[in-house]
Amino acid sequence: MKERDKMLLGELYNPADEELYSDRMYAKNACHKFNSLDATDIGTRTTILKKLLGKTGEHPHIEPNFYCDYGYNIEVGDNFYANHNLVILDCAKVKMGNNVFIGPNCGIYTACHPTNSEERNSGLEFAKPITIGNNVWLGGNVCIMAGVTIGDNVVIGAGSVVTKNIPSNKIAVGNPCKPIKDTN
């Protein structure tokens, strides 16, 4: 089984694999080009995003700087907006619905490392997918950790670290992030 297949299945894999390294370098170069463009060159930025990301809906917009590991594991719906300094470690699938708004300095991290030091020091890692529903707003400096699902119509307060699933129609805040009230 190829290392890329292991990665996508959530199994331990070797990120130093030649194919994965090549895929990451492609994404890093695309992000560099994206981040280096003139601020008014929205058309070229959109073209780069549509080529880099696995799936984009209508009107995707990410402010520079943007960084990801592979790009092809990221899916965004219609009217996706991310403010400056979004980092997505997309070793597993990251699926985001329609009308997702992401504040500045946010991180979405599917990558995981073994807790056993011997296994971790061997260089192996694994990943868990992240799903973000429709009509979700992530405040600034939010971190979404591996394996999390966020439902529809959710607001995550600034500075929150989301380590567990958040059900639909909730406002959630904190570290660890917890629902505090309904959005309606």
| CA atoms within a 13 Å half-sphere pointing along the CA-CB vector of 154 | 26
Domains of the chain as residue ranges with CATH:
3-182 (2.160.10.10)
C-alpha 25/C-alpha 20 separation (Å) is 9
State yes or no: pLDDT of 27 exceeds 80.
yes
Please classify residue 89 by burial: count the beta carbons closer than 10 Å to its beta carbon, then call 0-12 exposed, 13-18 middle and 19+ buried.
Answer: buried
pLDDT at position 114 is 94
- What is the pLDDT averaged over residues 26-50? 96
C-alpha separations of 125 from 24, 98, 115 in Å: 15, 31, 10
Q: What percent of the chain has pLDDT over 70?
A: 100
Other beta carbons less than 10 A from residue 138's beta carbon: 28
What is the model's pLDDT at position 184? 76
Peptide bond connecting 121 to the previous residue in cis, omega within 30 degrees of 0: no
32 is catalytic: no
User: Mean pLDDT for the chain?
Assistant: 97
93-108: pLDDT as tens digits: 999 999 999 999 999 9
